[in-house]
Structure formats: C-alpha cells, structure tokens
Amino acid sequence: MSDQQTIAVKTLAESLVDSMDKRPLVSDLSNESSLINFKSSLFSCINNNCKIIINSNPLAAKTFLTDFFLKLPLTEHTYQSYDYHFIPSLNLISCIIVGKVKIDEYPRNKLGETADLLPPNNNYNGVIKERPFWSLPFGFTLNFVIQTDTQDIYKESIISFNYKVNYIPEETQIKV
C-alpha cells in the first residue's frame, strides 16, 4: 500500500470513530428535515448493504445503526491502537480499532430526550446546560472491512462493521 492509501485508511478510521460521538445541534432537533440530513451524514462511509453487528447482535441496515447510536447517551471514544491489512486478491482492507469509550451517566440520549416527566429547571432558550458526567472508561473493539475498488473511499466504502464492548468497569452503573 502506498503512503497515500495509508493516510486515507487512517483518516477513514478516525472519522468513523468520531461519527459515533456526534450529536445534532439543538437547532437541528426542531426541524425534521435538518434531523434527517444529520442522520444521513452520520455514517456516510458505511455502505447501505453493510453487514452490521453491535455487541454480537446483527442490525438490519445502516438506518438502524444511526438510530441506535442516537438513542445512546453521550459518548467519548478514544482509540488506543489500530491495525489494517490489505487483501490484494479481493481489493479489501481489514481494519481493527481498539480503544476506550466514556459514557455520560446523565439520563439523556444524544437527541436530548430523557425519561424525566418534568422538564429540567436550568434550560434556557432550549439549550441543554447539563455537563456530561462521564463514566469510567469501557473498552471497545471495532472491526470493519473497506472495499477499495470504490471511487471515493470516504463514501459508502465500509462493507462490514462489528462493534463490541469488551471491557465493562466494575464500578459503573451502566449496563451494556
């Protein structure tokens, strides 16, 4: 693999990890078309026919993956290492990322939805003011396969996506 391809794979891996932590702006939540545009841009590097597995549970399509990550609380992923291997006969790149994820223990998802019956008192003009209360870091492993014969490696080139939480701290209240 050339240096240019190596940089492209690393950039794709970083953008994939970053997209798991994205959340829509408060202004996007009030407008349905803005929210749809945000959802469509969330995992743009994943192919619509991608095989998706989250914690050993298969998901049917990319839209379920987007909805799944938006229903989670705020997260902060940091990767510690990544490795990739080019498979020349199939024009594929197999990648693995190992890292840590912190999860917000405040009961609110990325869309700002909560199970509280009464609205919080410290909202001002619809802006959520609560600071995240980060958990201890969980360990995760992300395996994905990139199809290299596509025109743009950043658009729908990932054909397999497997995300697994493999370490859960004992002191956490969060169940995975």
pLDDT of 58: 92
- Contact at 8 Å (CB) between 170 and 36? no
pLDDT, tens digit, for every residue of 128-157?
556 677 888 999 999 999 998 877 777 888
Q: Provide the residue count of the chain.
A: 176
pLDDT of 98: 96
Edge-to-edge strand order for the sheet containing 57-59?
A: 57-59, 46-54, 158-167, 138-147, 92-103, 75-87
pLDDT of 1: 64
pLDDT of 118: 59
The Cα 70–Cα 165 span in angstroms is 17
pLDDT of 8: 87
3-167 belongs to CATH 3.40.50.1220: no
Tokens standing for 149? 């014969």
Residues of the chain with pLDDT under 70: 1, 26-29, 115-131, 173-174, 176
